[in-house]
Amino acid sequence: MKDPEVCLILGNGPSLKSVPNELLDKFYTFGSNGIYEKYIPDFYFCANIAEVERRKSDIQKLETMKFIAAVSNIECDVPLYFNAPEFSFHPMWNVCQGHTVTYVCMQFAFYYNFKTIYLLGVDHKYVSPGKPDEKIKWPLSEDPNHFSKKYLKAGDEWYCPNLEMSEHYYQIAREKFYDAGKEIINLTEGTELNIFPRKDINVLRNYS
């Protein structure tokens, strides 16, 4: 039985490739965008309209709980509205996008009252051909930023990450979780995200 107080938030970085799906099966999982190419999480999120449009047919086929940007008009369990200014304690009605869908997942993990949140695949480093937040067409034949080199294909629309602003919001998340007696721990191998305490992935193997 899965621990109701523990969950995993899965990024889509290259490090996720080496994480066995059998290990993920032991926990409640949050994932986003193209995560289903490796693993189908319990809670699936797609907040960026470019991602939603590119993955629309795949998203519609997913048989899991789906949280999708409301402007997409895709049938889902929870439409996402992005008007919260900082950190939402009521994300079902209004959530803060925080420059990364991972931050959206954090607010829902808080709302669902998970006490310990582990991050995996949140490498927090990118080869980015454009400026932060710039919308571009992916120019390369391979994708070095995700668990699959075919995650982004040449010509796919992509918003270049804004790591500085992501860190700003991650710091807010850390404080909100700490104040509530909860914690976010980064288990991502080789991560460059140092906002959260870090541990080795082997802590997950201690759960029955």
* Per-residue pLDDT tens over the stretch 46-105: 999 889 999 999 999 999 999 999 998 899 999 999 999 999 999 999 999 999 999 999
Angle at 176 between CA 171 and CA 179, to 5 degrees: 125
Average pLDDT over residues 17-42: 97
Residue 45 burial class via C-beta count within 10 angstroms: exposed 0-12, middle 13-18, buried 19 and up: buried
132 domain-assigned: no
Q: Is the pLDDT of residue 39 over 90?
A: yes
Residue 35 lies in a domain: yes
Is residue 152 assigned to a domain? no
CA distances from 5 to 50, 109, 185 (A): 33, 10, 14
Q: What is the residue range of 40's domain?
A: 6-125+166-206
**In angstroms, rounded to a whole number, what is the distance separating the alpha carbons of residues 145 and 163?**
13
Q: What is the pTM of this model?
A: 0.96
The overall average pLDDT reported for the chain is: 95
Q: Residue 145 domain-assigned?
A: no
Q: Is residue 142 part of a domain?
A: no
d(CA 4, CA 163): 31
Whether 133 is covered by a domain: the verdict is no
How many angstroms separate the CA atoms of 150 and 4, rounded?
34
Whichever domain contains 26, its CATH number is 3.40.50
Render pLDDT for 147-168 as a digit per residue (tens, 0 to 9).
999 999 999 888 899 999 999 9
Q: Count of domains in the chain?
A: 1
